Amino acid sequence: MHDLELSEEQRMIRDMARDFARSEIAPKTQAWEKAGWIDDALIAQMGDLGLLGMVVPEEWGGSYVDYVAYALAVEEISAADGAVGTLMSVHNSVGCGPVLRYGSQAQKQAWLPALAAGQAIGCFCLTEPHAGSEAHNLRTRAELRDGQWVLNGAKQFVTNGQRAKLAIVFAVTDPELGKKGLSAFLVPTDNPGFVVERREHKMGIKASDTCAVTLNDCTIPADNLLGERGKGLAIALSNLEGGRIGIAAQALGIARAAFEAALGYARERTQFGKPIIEHQSVSNLLADMHTSLNATRLLVLHAARLKSAGLPCLSEASQAKLFASEMAEKVCSKAIQIHGGYGYLEDYPVEKYYRDARITQIYEGSSEIQRLLIARELVNYSL
């Protein structure tokens, strides 16, 4: 994306995120990967820079400009570390987003300033051990007892699960109503009934705390219902556009980092008396990678512009997420190939990029779900 197509403010935010990512994140990513945890100090810095309130308006303490600036920032952070990109994207899109859109004035006042400042990180408790893409088929139950909601059930793959101070939990309130019987709740994670069972050991984005959570008679005030009773599925689905734009930008950032590593290596590594970039087999790989990155950025920013304008963009966001996530795996694989045997070693960053990229085809809606949504939109597509 040429700078001429960006506003001055968008460029400033992108450049700020890039400088921060290169100076404060990139040098520490290996240490965080081994520890399985991102330093709390970095989260505070991100909050100070406005990176954790990018979908929140200034009136609630946020730094919202538009979704183009947000996508650019997520790309830069993810290019330095996919795990930090995960934390940032999930917190902004499905942590802050539902509170902003569906919260009461009291709920917004209680949570949005802290979320936007990074003083409280959010998590999204929808997926269950038996229910992933089938979001309406949940077993977690919420019962109204003596003016309080009591939640019981189990959640799986909760990003930011151990770090979060606020959980947005989806539970069935009216089983007889089927899809219309699902509701959303704001649950402080220091509630004794909110139990983080374990941090999962993953293939990639290892510094991101992905957790299994159990709700054991988790009791919250009646006022902690988010939105209307029975509107949980609509709330869950309403944040998909922004969430998928964020993950598409994350995949783009990881893939770009892999490309830049491969390009640098190809310029330095010599074989048969010349740098390997001068061999057509390698230069062709790099040309394809560069083209794929630029095509992906166009899709991501197109969806972001539609979202910023308040226009429907479910299909465009799904297309961006689908294309970006599958592109990322291909680009990262080619980056390993260009490195040869060294690309398979932990001494070089491209093996981590490959591992980190793989999840982007699964979370925030798998590639199969994205294709399903895109195809549905084609039923009424104007020829």
Residues with catalytic annotation?
A: 364
Mapped onto helix, strand or coil, the DSSP state of residue 153 is: strand
- Token digits of residue 164: 């979060």
Buried b (16+ CB within 10 A) or exposed e, 117-140: bbebbbbbbbbbeebbeebbebeb
User: Which residue reads 């506003």 in tokens?
Assistant: 7
- Token digits of residue 186: 């704001």
Closest CA to 132 of 371, 365, 370, 351: 365
Contact 2, 14 (CB under 8 A): no
Tell me, what amino acid is at 365?
G
Closest CA to 195 of 157, 160, 154: 154
DSSP state of 23: I
* DSSP letters spanning 181-216: GEEEEEEETTSTTEEEEEEPP-SS-TTS-EEEEEEE
Tell me, what amino acid is at 11?
R
- Token digits of residue 180: 């219309």
